[in-house]
A and B are shown apart, each in its own frame.
Chain A
Amino acid sequence: MEMTSCCSVFYFRNELAVLQALSSTVQRDPTASHYRFQDDPYLTPRTASEFKLFSLSQESGRNAAKYIINTYPNFFLKDYAEPHIPCLMPESLQPKVTEVCEAGLRELIHLRKVRSAVDMYDRLLQAGTVVSLELTNNLLDLICFYGDQDPVQGDQAEPEKTAEGEVVQDPAPRRKEGRFRKSDSLHRTWRKDNNAERIFHLMPERNERSYGALIRGMVKYGAHSKAFDLYTDMQNNRMAADVHAFNALIAAAPEVRQKYSEKWDLIAEMLKQMNKLGVRPTLLTFNTVLKSLLRCGPLSRALVLQVLGEMKALGIEPSLATYYHILVAFYRQALSPSTLSRTMLTTDLLHSMMDEISGKVFDALDPDDVYFFNYAMNICCSLKDLGLAYRVHSLLNVGDNWKLLGNPSREGFYYGSLFNLVCMMENIGVVLQWYRDLVPSLFYPNSHTMRDLLQALDADNRLDLIPEIWKDVKQLGLATVSGDLAEEVLALMARDEHSPEIQESFANCALAVKAVYGHGEQSQATLDFTASALCNMATILLAAGRTDQAWEILQLFKANNRVPSEKLLDEFLNSAKSGSNSEQAVTLVQMSSSFSLPATARLAQRVEQEFDLSEEQKKALQDVEATSDSDKD
């Protein structure tokens, strides 16, 4: 029996619509760590270095698995998936075609094996086969992209042997990461006797693509003037370069001229030729123009906005990189640490820019997009403009713009500057709200940020929160980095009088801080006791009424070669008096004389007056006075 169904068909706009609708109902959870980590207290990173370590170890585990899968592919060939999932099959990284033919060359290019491909091409030429123009162009693209060297895989990096002009890769101990270090490609330079140039000259006929590939490779690896020579060559042959080649030439223009005006003239020349040839500029063209304009000195301010106008006239939507370059042109001088013109910021460009871009959703269209938010937040910090900072931050929360913050360290800088600004300008309630929201799910503060937070607490008279903050400091691993935080915390606690409960909590906190000093376990870094730290600790303990522990701290002075302050000894004398402990008083005076403090005589006098002393004690006191008198003489 068959059932007839009259189901209505639901159409979704795309496959992900349901998931996106569900995810829009959920906010970020400020108590959880990043989603890539497991949800367990032992496995949650507590500091920035742990964050990096855990994510890198997870990534290296994945790379280890990929290595095994690609080395033993026969175990992973059984296909359970319906339909077939190509990305879950083992990949073969070795070329299959062994004889010398065009298909072999095609495969080597596909596998990105630069040297073997060049070898194969040479052998093909020697054998007399004519390699097609398209294939040769592909080969040129490959060589120029990788700078005539094989792309470095993480586990295969050996230090390059020095040949003429080749750069030696630093043989740093390779960890298991398998990440392609960006710095590698920047260290390569365009060699004189290059395979790309050689093959280029060997080619019987060349078209625009060949010229384009070579120009872009030369600009990428630093041979700028050669790129321009090649361009004139191209013009002489009456060939039209495409938009990518023009972009590369515009990027190279500031390098081949010295004076600012000449640089700009060259860029303008390039643009005019593009126009003449009918090549339509893209977003990347304009961004490159802006980037090169920044190298043209004072011309940049005047011309940057004109370029933006041209972009809009052509109907190209600017990306965050465009706005970043404009900001740099205007605020570069004000933000540099050397100039004194920090107060001379007369432009409100950022305000008008935020007016324009608030609420817009941006995509990642240019590698320089990630610099925008950091730079904008930097500007807000130096302008001390909180409202503007909030506007920049709200732009971050629109749609998917948070993805344009960059890697975790860049995120850390951004949130660090935002939090510093908030600490400076807002009252403590708002500061604490931001603190709970940002830390530690979004960024791990450094000691500078924690000092700012302590100052904010001080300014708003909320010193009772110090013990909690100290717990966070310990958890973040900042306690032993430098002694400053611990000293600051102790100084703040010891400074004023507080109510008894707060004194009690301060005393507990002071003991916790004491544990950070002194001798910890072998692996932990420990700090040495300083005089001010010990004084403050003792003061706090006395104020809480814990005299025994305070006396222990006095012993530590001698043990660590530190001198107590007179004020501290006065306080001890007060506490001894309230406890009517004349023995302690006498010990105190003896201790002060052993440190050769100038206040010894005064202390001795005070003890004589205020305490009932037995005979031995009076004698001891007189001895002390005698020695101190003799010292004075």
Chain B
Amino acid sequence: MKSQNKSTTHIKMAVSFGGAGLILANHAVAHMSRTLCAVPRARAIHSTAVCCKHQAARIRVGKGDKPVTYEEAHPPHHIAHRKGWLSQHTSNLDRETGAAERTVEDIFIRRFIFGTFHGLLANELVIKRRGNMLVVCALFTQKIPAYKLYFLIGYTETLLSYFYKCPVKMEVQTVKDKVVYKYL
């Protein structure tokens, strides 16, 4: 019994496979723990039944009281039709390398700016790479006085420049409130 408990906890800490919801994963884990105790030291990919549903970057229609910006309202198949790209670099062209590194840098920059300009971001960041320069285009609300915004801008530009060893510039636009496209 004790060994079973140990292996249960061990498996629960492992990465969850498959794309289904959380409840299904728990059942899968429980199922796995029973079968795997019989077969020691074997790992297999577990899959569940297919659920034909897209749910990436979509906001489902609700009661009608949730304000939603243009960016959020359009699902990803509208990119290049009604939406642009949030991250612009050339590593996805033919025979160019470094796409994964650029993506990781982008994620870091987005989280960094979300935290530094706390509660001020009105929309997703747009990150552009021109030459060796990183241009971060941000849309902020006017909740703090302008000189405080300048302090944060100077701080972010310098810190990111030293971090990524390249010039980082911010192009900031401010807006009174978040611009609502529709209510879902």
Contact = CB atoms under 8 A, between A and B. Distances in A.
A64 B156 CA distance: 10
B158 A65 contact: yes
B174 interface: yes
Given A61-B155, A65-B159, A69-B159, A54 B150 contact: yes
A57 B165 contact: no
Contact of B148 (A40, A57, A69): A57
A69 B153 contact: no
A88 B165 contact: yes
Given A57-B147, A65-B159, A38 B154 contact: no
Contacts of B180: none
Interface in B67-121: none
B172 A61 contact: no
A12 interface: no
A54 B154 CA distance: 10
A43 B138 CA distance: 13
Interface string A22-63: 000000000000000111101100000010011101111110
B158 A66 contact: yes
Name the prevailing secondary structure of the A interface residues. helix
B124 interface: no
Nearest to B139: A40
B149 interface: yes
A38 B139 CA distance: 12
A73 to B, nearest CB: 10
B37 interface: no
Name the prevailing secondary structure of the B interface residues. helix
Contact of A76 (B146, B154, B163, B172): B163
A75 B163 contact: yes
Contact of B164 (A38, A54, A80): A80
Interface in B123-170: 142, 146-159, 161-166, 170
A42 B153 contact: no
A50 B172 CA distance: 18
Residue from A42, A69, A79 with most neighbouring chain B CB atoms (10 Å): A42
B173 interface: yes
A62 B158 contact: yes
B162 A58 contact: no
B163 A60 contact: no
B146 A69 contact: no
Given A42-B142, A42-B174, A66-B158, A61 B150 contact: yes
A61 B156 CA distance: 8
Interface in B34-89: none
Given A40-B174, A42-B142, A61-B151, A81 B162 contact: no
Interface residues of B, number: 26
A76 B158 CA distance: 12
A64 B149 CA distance: 14
Contacts of A65: 154-159, 162
Nearest to A82: B165
A42 B163 CA distance: 29
Given A68-B159, A79-B165, A61 B154 contact: yes
A82 to B, nearest CB: 9
A461 B173 CA distance: 41
Contacts of A314: none
Contacts of B162: 65, 69, 76, 88-90
Contacts of B152: 61
B151 to A, nearest CB: 4
A17 interface: no
Contacts of B164: 80
A68 B162 CA distance: 11
A7 interface: no
A54 B146 contact: yes
Given A80-B164, A81-B166, A85-B165, A43 B158 contact: no
B151 A64 contact: yes
A90 B162 CA distance: 8
A88 B151 contact: no
B128 to A, nearest CB: 16
Contacts of A39: 171
Contact of B146 (A42, A60, A62, A90): A42
Contacts of B149: 43
Contact of B153 (A61, A76, A85, A90): A61
B153 A88 contact: no
Contact of B172 (A40, A53, A54): A40
Given A65-B162, A75-B163, A81-B166, A43 B146 contact: yes
A58 B153 contact: yes
A37 B157 CA distance: 13
A58 B150 contact: yes
A59 B154 CA distance: 7
Given A38-B172, A40-B173, A43-B172, A62 B154 contact: yes
A79 B163 CA distance: 9
Given A43-B150, A65-B157, 12 more contacts: A38-B150, A42-B142, A43-B172, A55-B150, A61-B151, A61-B153, A61-B155, A65-B155, A69-B162, A76-B162, A80-B165, A81-B165
Of all A-B residue pairs in the complex, the 3 with the closest CB atoms, nearest first, are: A61-B154, A65-B158, A61-B155
22 contacts: A38-B150, A38-B170, A38-B171, A42-B174, A43-B172, A43-B174, A54-B147, A55-B150, A57-B148, A57-B151, A60-B154, A61-B150, A61-B152, A61-B156, A61-B158, A62-B154, A62-B155, A62-B157, A62-B158, A80-B164, A85-B165, A88-B166
Interface of A: 37-40, 42-43, 50, 53-55, 57-62, 64-66, 68-69, 75-76, 79-81, 85, 88-90
